[in-house]
């Protein structure tokens, strides 16, 4: 039996008769990085706000660390670090004082402030008022605030918004280390698959408030498996040979396309073609990219 850090059952939020989130069953495993994907306005932030108790669900339940959120909210929140939508800050305070204001509430040790500033690379800017910070720096400060209380679960809503490419890379590396080094479970939302593709172990895809895909990223890769393309000297005769092996093949120019063919069949086909003295110029696998698959899921709400 797996240990679910977050489990929602039938979670829904209705605004004026319209469901912003409907019947969501999230399952997030301990120590996993969960990529929560969906286009803008799909209900990602609404879901995260419900997970944090900022808004009350219209229907359904949320269990975090196995405890019901509506009963044990404060003890659950003590173990969560979060960044919702855009970073929160007090412009008239320095980065250190921003963190101090949160530290006083959490009762964390003073030394932790310097630690988290160092983690997000803001140590040099610590004394400046935050109103002069760029969006990327505010974002880093937001991540530092989320880490301040040594959380067991991080909920990060579009954490790389406004960061430059090297910043995105840094944050990605940082997030990758969380489960390994500290055993932290991470939920990270994004509207780009490429953002979480390299970090997440599991992805959930939400579309118009409904969860349309939830599985491991490896499984998503399998779904993205594409077709084989053979470029040969005499395509017409070769096509006949392919069909005699029972392969689903089609000709396009000098190339032959085979859908979802296993390794053994490919080997047999190639061997047979060589035996019939066909010259084989290319054997290529044409993969659908994950991004294409993601767009397809988001567009149609299902896998083909």
**Contacts (Cβ under 8 Å, ≥6 apart) of 142:** 83, 86, 87, 88, 89, 159
**29, 58, 60, 77: which one contacts another protein (CB under 8 A)?**
77
The residue written with tokens 């108790």 in the block is 53
Site string for another protein, 137-176 (x = CB under 8 A): --------x---x---------------------------
CA distances from 194 to 77, 264, 290 (A): 30, 32, 8
**Residues forming beta bridges with residue 214, ordered by sequence position:** 204
Residue 185 makes contact with another protein by CB under 8 A: no
Which residue shows structure tokens 């990327």? 136
Which of 28, 84, 120, 126 binds another protein (CB under 8 A)? It is: 84
Q: Which residues of 245-257 are buried (b: 16+ CB within 10 A; e: fewer)?
A: eebebeeeeebbe
Two structure tokens written together for 82? 């979060």
Neighbouring C-beta atoms of residue 107, cutoff 10 Å = 8
Identify the residue among 102, 119, 257, 280 touching another protein (CB under 8 A).
Answer: 102
Interaction between residue 93 and another protein (CB under 8 A): yes
Nearer to another protein, 105 or 274 (CB): 105
Query: Which one, 185 or 261, has the nearer CB to another protein?
Result: 185
CA distance 31 to 62: 19
User: Considering the rule CB under 8 A, would residue 101 count as an interface residue with another protein?
Assistant: yes
Place of tokens 């919702």: 84
The reply on whether position 70 binds another protein by CB under 8 A is no
Among 97, 115, 170, 210, binds another protein (CB under 8 A): 97
With contacts defined by CB under 8 A, name the span among 95-103, 118-126, 244-252, 254-262 that binds another protein.
Answer: 95-103
Binding residues (CB under 8 A) for another protein: these are 49, 52-56, 74-75, 77-78, 80, 82, 84-93, 97, 100-102, 104-107, 145, 149
């Amino acid at each position: 039996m797996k240990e679910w850090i977050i489990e929602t059952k039938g979670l829904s939020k209705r605004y004026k008769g319209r469901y912003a989130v409907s019947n969501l069953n999230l399952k997030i495993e301990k120590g996993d990085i969960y990529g929560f994907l969906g286009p803008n306005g799909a209900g990602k932030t609404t879901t995260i706000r419900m997970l944090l108790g900022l808004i009350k669900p219209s229907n359904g339940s949320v269990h975090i660390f196995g405890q019901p959120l509506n009963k044990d909210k404060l003890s659950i929140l003590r173990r969560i670090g979060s960044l919702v939508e855009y970073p929160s800050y007090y412009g008239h305070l320095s980065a250190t004082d921003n963190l101090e204001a949160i530290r006083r509430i959490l009762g964390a040790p003073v030394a932790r402030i310097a630690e988290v500033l160092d983690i997000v690379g803001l140590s040099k800017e610590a004394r400046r008022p935050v109103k002069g910070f760029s969006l990327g720096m505010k974002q880093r400060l937001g991540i530092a605030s989320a880490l301040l209380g040594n959380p067991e679960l991080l909920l990060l809503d579009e954490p790389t918004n406004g960061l430059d490419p090297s910043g995105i890379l840094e944050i990605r590396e940082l997030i990758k280390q969380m489960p390994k080094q500290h055993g932290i479970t991470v939920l990270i939302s994004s509207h780009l698959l490429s953002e979480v593709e390299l970090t997440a172990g599991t992805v959930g895809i939400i579309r118009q408030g409904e969860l349309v895909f939830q599985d491991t990223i490896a499984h998503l890769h399998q779904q993205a498996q594409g077709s084989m393309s053979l470029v040969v000297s005499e395509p017409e005769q070769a096509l006949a040979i392919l069909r005699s092996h029972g392969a689903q093949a089609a000709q396009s120019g000098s190339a032959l396309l085979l859908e979802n063919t296993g390794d053994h069949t490919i080997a047999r086909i190639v061997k047979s073609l060589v035996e019939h003295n066909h010259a084989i110029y290319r054997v290529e696998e044409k993969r659908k990219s994950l991004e294409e698959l993601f767009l397809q899921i988001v567009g149609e709400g299902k896998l083909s």
